[in-house]
Structures are given as structure tokens and as C-alpha cells.
């Protein structure tokens, strides 16, 4: 299928922001983009999210994409999103919506998995809440959804039913089972130290569900059994925040020294070399939307020992051994057998060569064109004055009556679409509440916001949400918890009637921000991720916050702590964050000024300080607000270092901070810091 009459605008955001680092979603995005350029006969354009101006912008067509210049009779325009950055980036998600609306296109997105919805406990609470909210929002905003595994399709159907998500038409596509780059003939310099002995490959981000620690435990047994004949285990992939401790233990474990090697900066060509020259691969993951490294192993004719979970059964194509991801003995036995018995390995590789039904990325491109060949069912537009029922994109523990009324159980959660005016100004939520006598605690985006007294007589309540509390999630994420004063009360605890949402006025927004800022006290640990309270302290010189924290942008960044205790006291600022140090620019210095007085200079060096570190600075307080300035004259952009097209001049990424009157011990992080980061 050629796609005549169809204009595709391909979103390359994941690839643009990934730079040269290889990751599963960027490899899928790149391969599909190249294949569509080869087979699509209609117009083909490219866009990407620009964090600097908060918009989706046009990109020049890649050299290989001659189809970008084709002009034809366009009967349908589709904005095709195959990456997954929108799951953790609400501004990007809404920028996609705005581009769709401004250009008369249909928004069609590939949903790789719905794991934050079905396994929220596998992620830090703030991350799972944000990502599940954004998935639900994409389902509400998109005109169509594409999936490529039966497992994900089933999970999506189940989540839609359980959370009352917006029903959206989903169609199946195929993934290509081939590497889209040529394997280099020379050993890449970063891999030169691997040629001295055979190695087994595991390609994956280090995170909880991928089971790196389990596999390293297997390798301890294999090394004990085989000694010098044991192959090396090569781990290729970045480290997620929840995998930092695991990566550190692997790096420092003397029993794994030189037996397990981790590389986190491998480009696509070097990765292809790894696949070509490894003994076999492993993939013990607990859950996958597909399991791209399993398919890539198949494409290279390599055996992959994988877990028998989720879509890995599909990716294995009936030719790979699948094991229970918790069966330590089975994994040890098979890895040891394949390592010591080349004939067993050769027999399994022969079975792979006989498997002749491997789809290519050209096949995948044709499946995408087939899925887009007919328009998706039209989504009903919102009425001019929408009712609450029209705006709720998911809900748990509550029912809607159809007239702006919500019945809440003791614990309920719902996501409500808000417009750009509300997102920029803040939101006022008002409702008439009645029910069992007690209190209703409300949280917005996981942050406590208000407590309403509830009784049998109806009373009107209003809550003001400042705009910074709306940055993280694509919707207004409302969570309610009812505490009853009456024993043995009914299941439905509270009824909210005449629920209304509007944008805050300028005066209301100023008061809402001030109230949230005054809630800070000395000793509190403040997080600076999207939607967190610490953002209220930021002044000039900071970029758009991300889920983990916020980068300084430019040569100076400021934050102001207020109010402070009376003068004459000595305070200590503890900052936890990361420096923008890379092999291309291995050092950076941050001069710390308190009320324009230089108090300290922090020095950072790659690779030690690329991961989060703690810094402490002491200063006297006068009782007045204190402004801390981070002066970073040698800040630089990823673009200037050849790392993609990001032009932001980055220096220090602030994750959380604490002002304390007690002199802290370096490295002795209080437990509240860990909570702030979770």
C-alpha cells in the first residue's frame, strides 16, 4: 500500500532528543521513519517538540527522505507519533494537540504499553501517577491509537474498562525485525576491551522490571561453575533513576569485576556490532510492550534467553527458549549449558535460520499505511459549555450522574481535561458538597491541596490550584480521601453537585501561589520536579521542569527562600542534583552566591558527577528573604557538544534542596530527601 492521498507528518521528537544514544523507542522511530520515506508515495513531513518555546516545530526532511517533497491530492493529514516522550511530558502532549488542531490533522499515536496504569507499584509514586494520567489524556485527545502486540492491546482494553477511559479506536501494526544500520567491520573503540573473551549481551535500561540484579546473581553462579571459561555479561543501556542503586552495586561488586560490564553510551552501529559478535542474548524482563532486543536478536540469528511474560511470547516467535523470570535455577542451567556447549547453541541458531517469516521495517511501514488508509472514527467535539462528564478522562472510586454531579467513595481519583487558559492561570474548582459527616482531603497531582468539612447539609466549597501544580500532568489529577466521623457509614461517602472549573483571576493566582510558598519552613525538603512545591522558590534562569527536577539555563539561576527565621542564625543549604558534564566537556564549576556574596564554588567532573550528587553551603541569615544565585559561566548546550539539536545552555540540574539549622553530615541524606525524589 502506497498511501496515495494521505499526508503523514512524522514526529521525530524521541530521536531528536536521544542524540547518538541508542534506545528502543528511538530505534523504532528511526526505522519506521526511514521505511515510510521509502514506501509512502504521498506527502511526508517531519516535526519535533521544541522545549525552548514549548511547541511542535517543523524539521527539514532527512537526506534519505525524498518523499518529503512529494505533493499530491491530500484527502487526509495525520500527525503520527511513534515515540513515548509524551508519557512523561505533559507540555509536549498538549503541544501535539495544539499542532493537530492548528493544522487540521488527525493525531495518531503508537501506545507501546500501559504499564504505569496496570503496574503502578513498579514505579515511584509520582512517576506512575504522572505517566498514567498522561496515557489517559492521550487516549482522550488522540483520534486513533496504534499497537503492535496482542498483550498491549488486551491491557489497553482492560484499562479502558476498569478506569472508564475515553474509548478510542485502536488498530494493529507490525514491527520490523531487523537492524536499520550497517554493522561496522572494525571494532568500535568503546568496545575494544571486549574482544579478549566471549560475551553475552543484555540490551536494556537498568530499571526494576528489567531484572538486572537477578541476571547478575545468575552470572555469579555461572562464573563459579565455569571459572575462566565463563563468558562476560555485557549490559548495554542507560540507567533509570530507580536503577541507580542497582548499577552502583554492580559496578562495585568484587565478585562481578570484569565478569559484568555496563556501557551506557552505545550508538546504533556499536550496538549492531554487539549483536553480531555476542554468544547469545538475554532478556529476563517482567513485562514488555514488545521486547525490541528480542526481535533484534532474531534478526541477527542469535539465541535469546527471555522471560515467558507479556508480549515477549510474541517477540520470541516460537524459536527462543522462554523461562520463568523468577526461576533462578532454570536460568543458571540454560545460561551455563549455552556457554559450555557450542553444539547446543549451534542447534538453536540453526532453528532461527529456518525461521523465514521475519517482517522487515518495510513490512512495518506498509502495516502503518494500511492502518492509516481509512480515517479513524471522528471524535465528538466538546460542547461550547462542557459538562463535567465531557471532561473526565479517567476515574476510580466515583460515579458521574450526567449533570455535573460526582458520587465519591472513601477514596476516589479522577482526571479532568482543562484548557490552556486554566493551565496557564491556575484553576478554581467549586462544588456543593453533602454527605456523611466527616472530612474530605483533596490532593492535586499528588500534592495535598485542601480539606473540606462535610455534613448532611449542603455547603459550597472552592479550591484554588496555582499553575505550577499543573505542569507535571496533562490533566487536573484530583484525588480525594474521605474520613468519616460516623462508624459504619455507607459506601458512597460524599456527593459533589454543580461542579465547576474556571481559570483563576490574576489576584486569585497571586494569592494561591503565595499561600503555597508560605507553607515552606526551615527543615523541609523541597523537590523541584514538575508540579512540586520547590518550583515556587525559583526565580530567573531555570528551564521547564521535568519529572526528576529542573535544569539551570544560561550563566545564572536564582531561587529565593522566604520567609526565614530571625537574624543571627546560621543556616545550611543542602542541594541534591546533577551537573551537565559529558565526555565532550568533562568539567564545570558553579559559583554559589547568597544575597550577592560568594559563599562557595562547586566543582564537577565527568563521569563521577554525571549522576546525582549532594552539595552543602553555609551562610548567616538576617531574617529577610534569602536569594541564592548559581553562577555558571561555562554552561553549554547539548547542540554545541554534538549531542542532538537541544540549544538550551545547561549547567546544574536541581532535584531537591533543604535549608536546615543543623550542620549536616555530607552523604547522610535524610529520609525525606528520598521521599522527595520518589
Using CA atoms, how far residue 469 sits from 424, 466, 475, 478, in Å, is 10, 6, 11, 11
> d(Cα 59, Cα 46) in Å, to the nearest integer?
5
Position 89 scores a pLDDT of: 87
At residue 669, the pLDDT reads 53
- 194 and 96 both lie in a single domain: no
Distance (Å, rounded) from C-alpha 201 to C-alpha 266? Answer: 13
Residues 641, 634: contact at Cβ < 8 Å? no
| Same domain? 95 vs 213 | no
d(CA 403, CA 425) in angstroms, rounded, equals: 26
Of 172, 203, 226, the residue that ends a domain is 172
Contact 9, 78 (CB under 8 A): yes
Name the helix (H) or strand (E) containing 494: strand 494-503
Q: DSSP character for 138?
A: H
Instruction: Indicate the Cα dihedral angle 170, 176, 181, 182, nearest 10°.
Output: 180
Grid cell, residue 300, equals 541477527
Could you tell me if 130 and 13 lie in one domain?
Answer: yes
Query: For residue 101, how many other CB atoms are within 10 A of its CB?
Result: 11
Domain assignment present for residue 163? The answer is yes
Asked whether residue 26 falls in the same domain as residue 143, the answer is yes
Count the alpha carbons within 13 Å of 488 in the hemisphere toward its beta carbon.
Answer: 0
For residues 68 and 87, membership in a common domain is answered with yes
- Cα gap 305→337, rounded to integer Å: 12
SS3 602: strand
Domain assignment present for 371: no
Whether 180 is covered by a domain: the verdict is no
DSSP 424: H
Question: Which of 179, 203, 177, 182 has its CA nearest to residue 355?
Answer: 177
What is the Cα–Cα distance from 265 to 283, expressed in whole angstroms? 19
Rounded Cα gap, residues 15 and 650, in angstroms: 20
Output the domain CATH number for residue 11. Answer: 3.40.50
Residues 22 and 20: their CA atoms lie apart, in Å, by: 6
Residue span of the structural domain in which 68 resides: 6-172
Q: Is residue 178 part of a domain?
A: no
If asked whether residues 611 and 672 sit together in one domain, one would say yes
- Rounded Cα distance between 209 and 241, Å, is 13
Taking the CA atoms of 194, 200, 201 and 206 in sequence, report the sign of the dihedral they define: negative
pLDDT for the residue numbered 66: 46
Cα–Cα nearest to 303, from 279, 286, 323: 279
Q: Per the domain annotation, does 48 fall within a domain?
A: yes
Decide which of 512, 537, 555 is a domain's last residue.
Answer: 512
**Same-domain status, 213 and 332:** yes
Same-domain pairing of 471 and 399: yes
List of residues 6+ apart from 213 with CB closer than 8 A? 246, 249, 250
Out of 512, 538, 553, a domain closes at: 512
Q: What confidence score (pLDDT) does residue 33 get?
A: 92
Q: Say how many C-beta atoms besides its own lie within 10 A of residue 249's C-beta.
A: 13
Residue 235: which of 253, 338, 227 has the closest Cα? 253
pTM, 2 dp? 0.72
Q: Using one digit for the tens of pLDDT, what is the confidence trace for 106-131? A: 999 999 999 988 888 888 777 888 88
CA distance 366 to 39: 7
Q: What is the predicted pLDDT for the residue at 492? A: 66
What phi, psi does 223 have (nearest 5°)? Answer: -65, -40
Annotate 154-184 with three-state secondary structure: HHHHHHHHHCCCCCCCEEECCCCCCCCCCCC
Is there a single domain that holds both residue 255 and residue 397? no
* Same domain? 437 vs 297: no
One domain for residues 62 and 132? yes
What share of the chain in percent tops pLDDT 90?
37
Selection from 11, 166, 25 nearest residue 103 by Cα: 11
Domains in the chain, number: 4
Is 357 domain-assigned? no
Query: How far, in Å, CA of 314 to CA of 235, rounded?
Result: 23
Cβ(78)–Cβ(103) below 8 Å: no
| Radius of gyration for the chain, computed over Cα atoms and rounded to the nearest angstrom | 27
How many Cβ atoms from other residues are within 10 Å of residue 135's Cβ? Answer: 28
CATH number for the domain spanning 254: value is: 3.40.50.2000
User: Does 207 fall in a domain?
Assistant: yes
Residues in the chain with pLDDT < 70?
Answer: 1-4, 19-23, 62-74, 179-183, 356, 380-385, 472, 488-492, 511, 514-521, 562-569, 609-610, 622-623, 666-678
Number of residues in the chain: 678
DSSP characters over 254-283: GGGTTTEEEES---HHHHHHHHHH-S-EEE
The C-alpha cell 496515557 sits at 135
Residue 127 lies in a domain: yes
DSSP state of 508: H
The answer to whether 336 touches 315, Cβ cutoff 8 Å, is: no
Give the pLDDT score at 675: 38
What is each CA distance from 23 to 50, 200, 292, 409, 449, in whole angstroms? Answer: 20, 19, 10, 42, 38
Assess whether 53 and 77 both reside in one domain: yes
Q: How much is the pLDDT for 623?
A: 64
> CATH number for the domain including 645?
2.60.120.260
pLDDT of residue 670: 46
Amino acid at each position: 500500500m502506497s498511501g496515495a492521498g494521505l499526508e503523514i507528518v512524522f514526529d521525530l521528537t524521541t530521536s531528536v532528543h536521544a542524540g547518538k544514544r541508542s534506545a528502543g523507542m528511538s530505534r523504532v522511530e528511526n526505522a519506521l521513519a526511514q521505511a515510510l520515506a521509502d514506501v509512502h508515495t504521498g506527502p511526508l513531513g517531519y516535526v519535533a517538540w521544541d522545549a525552548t518555546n514549548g511547541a511542535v516545530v517543523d524539521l527539514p526532511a532527512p537526506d534519505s527522505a525524498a518523499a518529503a517533497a512529494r505533493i499530491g491530492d491530500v484527502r487526509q493529514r495525520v500527525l503520527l507519533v511513534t515515540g513515548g516522550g509524551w508519557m512523561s511530558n505533559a507540555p509536549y502532549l498538549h503541544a501535539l494537540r495544539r499542532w493537530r488542531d492548528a493544522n487540521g490533522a488527525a493525531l495518531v499515536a503508537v501506545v507501546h504499553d500501559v504499564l504505569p496504569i496496570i503496574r503502578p507499584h513498579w514505579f515511584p509514586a509520582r512517576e506512575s501517577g504522572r505517566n498514567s494520567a498522561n496515557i489517559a489524556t492521550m487516549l482522550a485527545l488522540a483520534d486513533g491509537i496504534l499497537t503492535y502486540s496482542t498483550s498491549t492491546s488486551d491491557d489497553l482494553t482492560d484499562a479502558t474498562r476498569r478506569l472508564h477511559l475515553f474509548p478510542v479506536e485502536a488498530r494493529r501494526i507490525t514491527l520490523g525485525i531487523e537492524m536499520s544500520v550497517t554493522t561496522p567491520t572494525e571494532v568500535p573503540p568503546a568496545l575494544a576491551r571486549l574482544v579478549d573473551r566471549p560475551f553475552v549481551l543484555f540490551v536494556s535500561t537498568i530499571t526494576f522490571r528489567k531484572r538486572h540484579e537477578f541476571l547478575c546473581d545468575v552470572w555469579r553462579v555461572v562464573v563459579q561453575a565455569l571459572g575462566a571459561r565463563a563468558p562476560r555479561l555485557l549490559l548495554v543501556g542507560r540507567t533509570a533513576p530507580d536503577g541507580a542503586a542497582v548499577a552502583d552495586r554492580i559496578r562495585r561488586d568484587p565478585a562481578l569485576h570484569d565478569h559484568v560490564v555496563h556501557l551506557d553510551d552505545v550508538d546504533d552501529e556499536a550496538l549492531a556490532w554487539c549483536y553480531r559478535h555476542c554468544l547469545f542474548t538475554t532478556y529476563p524482563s517482567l513485562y514488555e510492550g514488545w521486547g525490541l532486543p528480542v526481535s533484534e536478536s532474531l534478526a541477527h540469528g542469535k539465541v535469546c534467553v527471555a522471560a515467558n511474560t507479556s508480549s515477549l511470547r510474541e517477540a520470541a516467535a516460537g524459536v527462543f527458549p522462554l523461562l520463568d523470570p523468577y526461576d533462578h535455577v532454570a536460568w543458571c542451567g540454560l545460561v551455563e549449558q549455552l556457554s559450555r556447549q557450542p553444539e547446543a547453541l549451534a542447534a538453536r541458531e540453526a532453528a532461527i535460520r529456518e525461521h523465514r517469516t521475519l517482517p522487515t521495517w518495510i513490512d512495518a511501514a506498509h502495516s502503518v499505511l494500511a492502518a492509516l488508509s481509512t480515517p479513524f472514527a471522528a471524535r465528538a467535539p466538546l460542547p461550547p459549555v462542557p459538562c463535567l462528564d465531557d471532561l473526565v478522562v479517567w476515574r476510580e472510586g466515583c460515579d458521574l450522574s450526567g449533570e455535573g454531579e460526582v458520587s465519591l467513595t472513601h477514596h476516589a481519583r479522577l482526571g479532568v481535561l482543562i484548557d490552556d487558559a486554566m493551565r496557564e492561570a491556575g484553576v478554581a474548582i467549586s462544588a456543593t458538597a453533602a454527605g456523611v459527616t466527616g472530612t474530605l482531603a483533596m490532593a492535586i497531582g499528588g500534592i495535598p491541596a485542601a480539606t473540606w468539612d462535610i455534613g448532611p447539609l449542603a455547603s459550597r466549597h472552592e479550591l484554588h490550584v496555582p499553575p505550577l501544580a499543573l505542569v507535571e500532568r496533562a490533566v487536573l489529577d484530583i484525588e480525594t480521601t474521605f474520613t468519616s466521623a460516623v462508624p459504619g457509614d455507607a459506601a458512597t461517602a460524599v456527593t459533589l453537585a454543580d461542579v465547576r472549573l474556571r481559570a483563576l483571576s490574576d489576584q486569585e493566582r497571586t494569592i494561591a501561589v503565595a499561600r503555597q510558598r508560605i507553607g515552606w519552613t526551615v527543615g523541609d525538603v523541597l523537590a523541584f520536579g514538575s508540579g512540586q512545591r520547590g518550583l515556587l522558590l525559583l526565580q530567573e534562569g531555570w528551564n521547564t521542569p521535568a519529572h526528576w527536577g529542573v535544569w539551570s539555563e544560561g550563566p545564572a539561576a536564582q531561587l529565593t527562600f522566604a520567609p526565614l527565621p530571625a537574624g543571627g542564625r546560621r543556616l545550611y543549604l543542602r542541594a541534591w542534583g546533577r551537573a551537565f558534564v559529558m565526555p565532550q566537556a568533562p568539567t564545570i564549576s558553579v559559583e554559589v552566591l547568597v544575597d550577592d556574596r560568594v559563599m562557595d564554588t562547586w566543582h564537577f567532573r565527568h563521569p563521577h558527577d554525571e549522576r546525582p550528587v549532594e552539595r552543602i553551603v553555609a551562610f548567616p541569615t538576617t531574617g529577610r528573604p534569602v536569594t541564592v544565585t548559581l553562577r555558571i559561566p561555562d554552561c553549554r548546550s547539548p547542540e554545541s557538544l554534538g549531542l542532538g539539536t537541544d540549544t538550551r545552555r545547561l549547567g546544574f540540574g536541581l532535584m531537591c534542596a533543604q535549608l536546615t539549622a543543623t550542620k549536616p553530615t555530607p552523604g547522610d541524606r535524610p529520609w525525606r530527601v528520598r521521599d522527595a525524589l520518589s
